Amino acid sequence: MSRGRSSYVGAVPILVAVDCIILGFDHEGLKLLLFRRKIKPYQGEWSTIGSFVRPEESVESAAARVLESHTGLENIFMEPLGHYGAVDRDPGARVISLPYFALIRLGKEEINTTLTHQANWFDINAIPPLILDHNQMVAAALKELRRKARYRPIGFELLPEKFTIPQLQQLYETIYNKALDNRNFRKKILSMKILERLPEKDKSTSRKGAFLYSFIPKRYEQMVEKGVDFVL
């Protein structure tokens, strides 16, 4: 009982890390942000980005700190993704990892800020071998993304504020890896009444131009609450 405030005599503390699986979407498809590891073991290899949880911060703020310090982004959609707790998963020490999965809106700016720290966006279908069990974590994140996309509208997190319906369709097609009928897609997404059509058009991808839409936050939230079976 001589170890400060702890009354849990005999319990052995363990290193706890958070790892961020950062996904983004742009015209080329779904991307994963990876980093060259800065410490040993496995220094220099590709890895998701993580950090040990510090005594004075919550697990959640550790994850936010990691994301912010490597991308400059704050208030990002993040969600815990289980835990990895095998005894020998990390040869450097016994470490329990709590991965978070983050969805970010890809614009040109974000990509630049990250290129500074030995970072790179990888196409989701061409992920290199990663250290430890990180490939597993990425696979879990992808599975979770697909699950999520099915049961709730997604897009607020992965699309810019204004987007076109073809863009949204492309996002779903990328996630499901499957072509969708554009008439039915439009019908279904519009019938949810979570989109507001703006007066502007995006002419960057066609001569005709596609109308821009934005999510109606209130209705979007209602849909998330209620749950939707968005099989396409």
1 forms part of the interface with its own copies (CB under 8 A)? no
Least distance (Å) between residue 161 CB and its own copies:
29
Least distance (Å) between residue 176 CB and its own copies:
13
Token reading at 137 = 């974590």
| Radius of gyration of the CA atoms of the chain, in A | 20
128 forms part of the interface with its own copies (CB under 8 A)? no
140 forms part of the interface with its own copies (CB under 8 A)? no
195-202: strand order across its sheet: 163-164, 210-215, 195-202
Helices 165-176, 182-191: crossing angle, 10 deg rounding: 110
Which residues, other chains included, contact 163 with Cβ-Cβ below 8 Å and sequence gap of 6+?
155, 212, 213, 214
Q: Which is nearer to DNA, 83 or 200 (CB)?
A: 200
109 forms part of the interface with its own copies (CB under 8 A)? no
Q: Which is nearer to DNA, 108 or 183 (CB)?
A: 183
Q: Which is nearer to its own copies, 12 or 126 (CB)?
A: 12
CA angle 198, 74, 154 (to 5 degrees): 45
Secondary structure class of 200 (helix, strand, coil): strand
In the complex, the residues that contact its own copies under the rule CB under 8 A are 5-8, 11-16, 39-41, 52-60, 62, 80, 82-83, 85-87, 91-96, 98, 147, 150-151, 227, 229, 231
